[in-house]
Structure 1
Amino acid sequence: MSDSIPRILLAGLSGGTGKTIVSLACARAFTRRGRVVAPFKKGPDYIDAQWLALAAGRTCSNLDPFFHSREIIRSLFFHRSLGADVSLIEGNRGLFDGMDERGSCSSAELARMLDCPVVLAIDCTKMTRTVAAIVQGCAGFEPGLNLAGVILNRTAGERHRDVLRRSMETYCDVPVLGMLPKMKNPIPERHMGLMSDQEYDGSAHLDRLADAAAEWLDLDAILKAAHAAPDFGPRPGPVFPGPPAEKSARIGYVHDAALWFYYPENLEALEHAGAELVRLSLLDGEPWPEIDGLYLGGGFPEVFAEKIAANRPALRYLRSLAESGMPVYAECGGFMVLCDLLEINGESHRMAGVFPLTTSFCPRPQGLGYTEAEVVEDSVFFPRGERVLGHEFHYSMCVSDGAADLRHGLRMIRGQGSALGRDGFLHKNTWAGYNHIHALAVPGWAERFVAAAAARRGGER
């Protein structure tokens, strides 16, 4: 059975060309027109994905050829697109930029996997006719790429736009789908990208972007390009095969302004494996309910370090859970909270103290990109010998001399990790490190997590 899925991938020539702003503007503008938009982000990213979800009013999933097979990508894309009028994917980096000279895992490769038309956003600062040459080169660079149009961004004025349009019409057969003027990014930024919408209401910012899209972009032509996508092909199988398991354990996950980096599929995988999920916070002072397991995602604990440190009852309770043998899984920001100290701007803030370590915030990234690691010690989360794919993006570093003496679960093959080419600190049934995983790329993680939580519940009974 074949399905029609109107779809478009918005790409750029490089990072910083404005494709995120264009993607948010289109998603919000289509939504305000009454269209149901299914948003996607190519590559490992929490912040842009969260903004896309806010713009579309619908969960955003990440699609990544490094993590996922073609079958998983097509299944996830298909099932997330059900019920939508248009599916919009924001690419990452440059259109053809991948992990090697062949462009593996690039936005262009993802577009080919999904047979998806591409709209290219180009920063036209101090360029006119050269833009036509760039577009012509991109259109013919890789076989199988469907370049459906371009959006010319950061144009300087009417004369600039007129020369750009005439150059494109003279030298290219790729349509111009809009020209945006130079405008200040309405969404504040910080060290990891756009500021989190968890810290303030970003709806007004998105509406301003949608206003700009309505004025400067040919939204009808962009939708027409999406509807011109070929039939999707054979209907793929479900994202999570088999019926959901009966609820056997309650797993808490901290989701507040400090920690909120969770792929939706990670939480869904836990639910499918039999977890009842409970949302928790380290910031509001509310007591936690009884739980059988705990998941601490990444985020911005450095921004809220003083507030987290002041919540001593929650931190003491967090440590007691780890000491009791509860399965606790912590990624990046969650790892920082489990350490002794978090240093930022010359000040030290006392955290939970599960690990006798200090993390120190730095002005530049200390780990950035995809990771690959080998599990070197058995735990309730991973068996020894398993290969784990993930990613890291952290500005903090582990500065404690004692790191070498602690148990580690991972030997890094690719990536920085926490210390000495390792990651995944182990203490009883707690696993913590800088590595982020996507559940669909690590089969069995969710099932093992739930099984460990269920065993704890059974043991208490």
Structure 2
Amino acid sequence: MQQPRLVISGLSGGSGKTLVSLGLSRLFTRRGLSVQPCKKGPDYIDYAWLSLAAGKPAACLDPYFLNDEALERQFCCVCARRRPDIAVIEGNRGLFDGRDLQGSCSTAHVARLLKAPVVLTMNCAKMTRTAAAIVSGMANFEKDLHLAGVILNNVAGERHGSMLRRAIESYTDIPVLGILPRLGSNPLPERHMGLSLNTTDTSLHAVLDKLADTLEEHTDAGVFLSLARTAPPIPDISEDDAPVTVPAERPRIGYVQDRAMWFYYEENLEALRDAGADLVRLDLFDDAPWPQIDGLYLGGGYPELFADAISASSHLADIRALSLANRPIYAECGGFMLLCRSLLLDDGEHPMAGLLPAQPRFYRRPQGLGYVTARVVAENPFHPLGRVWRGHEFHYSRCEWPDNRRPSCCLTLSPGTGMYEEHGTHCDGLLVRRTFACWTHLFAPAVPHWAKNFVEECRK
């Protein structure tokens, strides 16, 4: 299958690759092209922005979760399902930054694996000829990487841009694909906690259109499309290779997606559908009764920002009833917080569903952040005993326990923070009846047993 694709990377975080990725995705979409946005690395906020820009769910391409063969197949499957005209792959951090000295799990590794041309974004503030030395070094640092061009960002003016272009094109053979002017302020709203990215919010679409306008004015979008089309063919995934739905009664699994809870990998939802479930989207803040469901998936989000409204929600009683009826519930991070006794915030204690004894206390700095490896140390309906799987943490809360009584956990994390530390071991994952909750987020293609077990428990 001939799949045009392009990796957008940078020298470091803050180089402008997100602005370029969003701007190009929106620009191509406005021109009538089908764009498949992708993100390397776990970042729900960037995923949401990319999905909004392209009008299509972003895909996760993370070499920590998936080995080379699985990651390549994941990309091929996404493209085979959605048949985009172009895939725009946003990297993370610097192009060669990985988990070790060898750069494992770097954006460069993903680009080589997918044989995708790379466009490098550079913050060129207070820089001229040095830019050429940097581009030369980037182009020659690792073999078999196709550095197709650079976009110069944060440029002071026409004279500055001209000096940068002449230096880079005189000392290297890497073309300058665009010169973006210094902006008075960050055009993106702060991508922080609480940004729910409502797809109907006209102000968010206006931001994306402004980014597209900037790319249209200061670059030639046709050049990017031509570069993307130079990528060699990828394996064509036939219908026989596609996931097979179990031919049985399809249980209904609800998932809460609203202004407080919206951290879901699209791949996780697809995995549940492929395993035989029908999904029902739910809202904590809608007073309408929830429909009959056989199980509940609670992803992450920012319940601490809506604690009063959640405490007042009638649907906390629905969640309690599901758990007491022994229906399967799987909760991650913010979903775990919903199931707790209460949230402890600066303004006091906020009651939650009360199914778990923990009381997460919110802090201003992350209390758990980064990749984890989870080992299953207790039987539960979702993860087989002894299985080891990879995920990640992203939470600003730390658990407190009434009377200092900490229940046994189903997971141990290394590395990771979890719910508590005991004898040097970080513990995560509480089980009450068939309600399982943890801080750890999972990516379903990397944990293939999860969706099958979840759906089978709901089918029972």
TM-score (normalizing by structure 1): 0.94
- Please report how far the alpha carbon of residue 191 of structure 1 lies from its aligned counterpart in structure 2 after TM superposition: 3.6
Structure 1 gap segments, 5+ residues each: 456-461
- Secondary structure of the structure 2 residue equivalent to 1:10: strand
Letter in 2 for 1:333: G
| Residues 197-206 or 131-140, more deviating | 197-206
Equivalent in 433, 442, 456 of residue 451 of structure 1: 456
- Please report how far the alpha carbon of residue 229 of structure 1 lies from its aligned counterpart in structure 2 after TM superposition: 1.3
Partner in structure 1 of residue 42 of structure 2: 44
Partner in structure 1 of residue 373 of structure 2: 372
Please give the alpha-carbon distance, in whole angstroms, between the structure 2 residues aligned to 1:163 and 1:65. 38
| Residues 301-310 or 116-125, more deviating | 301-310
Equivalent in 273, 277, 286 of residue 275 of structure 1: 277
- Please report how far the alpha carbon of residue 407 of structure 1 lies from its aligned counterpart in structure 2 after TM superposition: 2.5
Partner in structure 2 of residue 342 of structure 1: 343
- Please report how far the alpha carbon of residue 206 of structure 1 lies from its aligned counterpart in structure 2 after TM superposition: 0.6
Structure 2 gap segments, 5+ residues each: none
Task: Flag the 1:322–1:233 CA change in 2: closer, same or farther, 3 A.
Answer: closer
* Residues 125 and 156, structure 2, Cα contact 8 Å, conserved in 1: yes
Q: C-alpha deviations, 1:81-130, integer Å up to 9, x for none?
A: 24221111000111111111111111011111100110011111111111
Please give the alpha-carbon distance, in whole angstroms, between the structure 2 residues aligned to 1:140 and 1:130. 16
Partner in structure 1 of residue 92 of structure 2: 92
Please give the alpha-carbon distance, in whole angstroms, between the structure 2 residues aligned to 1:395 and 1:182. 33
Please give the alpha-carbon distance, in whole angstroms, between the structure 2 residues aligned to 1:126 and 1:324. 64
Aligned counterparts, 1:176-215, within 5 A: 176-183=176-183, 184-192=185-193, 195-198=195-198, 200-201=201-202, 202-215=204-217
Equivalent in 424, 430, 433 of residue 429 of structure 2: 424
Please give the alpha-carbon distance, in whole angstroms, between the structure 2 residues aligned to 1:268 and 1:402. 41
Please give the alpha-carbon distance, in whole angstroms, between the structure 2 residues aligned to 1:391 and 1:402. 29
Partner in structure 2 of residue 384 of structure 1: 385
Q: C-alpha deviations, 1:205-225, integer Å up to 9, x for none?
A: 111111111101221111111
Please give the alpha-carbon distance, in whole angstroms, between the structure 2 residues aligned to 1:269 and 1:349. 34
Letter in 2 for 1:314: H
Please give the alpha-carbon distance, in whole angstroms, between the structure 1 residues aligned to 2:358 and 2:427. 14
Letter in 1 for 2:332: E
* Residues 262 and 298, structure 1, Cα contact 8 Å, conserved in 2: yes
Partner in structure 2 of residue 72 of structure 1: 70
Aligned counterparts, 1:4-403, within 5 A: 4-82=2-80, 83-183=83-183, 184-192=185-193, 195-198=195-198, 200-201=201-202, 202-233=204-235, 235=237, 241-311=243-313, 313-400=314-401
Please give the alpha-carbon distance, in whole angstroms, between the structure 1 residues aligned to 2:187 and 2:60. 24
- Please report how far the alpha carbon of residue 309 of structure 1 lies from its aligned counterpart in structure 2 after TM superposition: 1.1
Q: C-alpha deviations, 1:241-295, integer Å up to 9, x for none?
A: 4344433311111111111111111111111111111111111222111111110
Task: Flag the 1:428–1:44 CA change in 2: closer, same or farther, 3 A.
Answer: same
Q: C-alpha deviations, 1:304-333, integer Å up to 9, x for none?
A: 11111111x211221222222211100001
* Residues 245 and 275, structure 2, Cα contact 8 Å, conserved in 1: no
Please give the alpha-carbon distance, in whole angstroms, between the structure 2 residues aligned to 1:8 and 1:453. 40
- Please report how far the alpha carbon of residue 394 of structure 1 lies from its aligned counterpart in structure 2 after TM superposition: 1.1
Letter in 2 for 1:45: D
- How many residues are treated as equivalent by the alignment? 451
* Residues 404 and 419, structure 1, Cα contact 8 Å, conserved in 2: no
- Please report how far the alpha carbon of residue 344 of structure 1 lies from its aligned counterpart in structure 2 after TM superposition: 2.6
- Secondary structure of the structure 2 residue equivalent to 1:285: coil
RMSD between superposed Cα atoms in Å: 1.8
* Residues 245 and 276, structure 2, Cα contact 8 Å, conserved in 1: no
Letter in 1 for 2:40: K
Task: Flag the 1:249–1:178 CA change in 2: closer, same or farther, 3 A.
Answer: same
Q: 4+ residue runs of structure 1 moved beyond 6 angstroms?
A: 236-239
Letter in 2 for 1:100: D
- Please report how far the alpha carbon of residue 404 of structure 1 lies from its aligned counterpart in structure 2 after TM superposition: 5.4
Letter in 2 for 1:318: I
- Please report how far the alpha carbon of residue 79 of structure 1 lies from its aligned counterpart in structure 2 after TM superposition: 3.0
Please give the alpha-carbon distance, in whole angstroms, between the structure 2 residues aligned to 1:403 and 1:248. 42
Task: Flag the 1:338–1:218 CA change in 2: closer, same or farther, 3 A.
Answer: same
* Residues 92 and 107, structure 2, Cα contact 8 Å, conserved in 1: yes
- Secondary structure of the structure 1 residue equivalent to 2:93: strand
- Please report how far the alpha carbon of residue 240 of structure 1 lies from its aligned counterpart in structure 2 after TM superposition: 5.1
Please give the alpha-carbon distance, in whole angstroms, between the structure 2 residues aligned to 1:38 and 1:264. 13
- Please report how far the alpha carbon of residue 71 of structure 1 lies from its aligned counterpart in structure 2 after TM superposition: 2.6
- Please report how far the alpha carbon of residue 157 of structure 1 lies from its aligned counterpart in structure 2 after TM superposition: 1.1
Please give the alpha-carbon distance, in whole angstroms, between the structure 1 residues aligned to 2:312 and 2:69. 47
Task: Flag the 1:205–1:368 CA change in 2: closer, same or farther, 3 A.
Answer: same
- Please report how far the alpha carbon of residue 238 of structure 1 lies from its aligned counterpart in structure 2 after TM superposition: 7.1
- Please report how far the alpha carbon of residue 228 of structure 1 lies from its aligned counterpart in structure 2 after TM superposition: 1.3
Letter in 1 for 2:136: Q
TM-score (normalizing by structure 2): 0.94
Please give the alpha-carbon distance, in whole angstroms, between the structure 2 residues aligned to 1:372 and 1:18. 31
| Residues 230-239 or 295-304, more deviating | 230-239
- Please report how far the alpha carbon of residue 143 of structure 1 lies from its aligned counterpart in structure 2 after TM superposition: 0.8
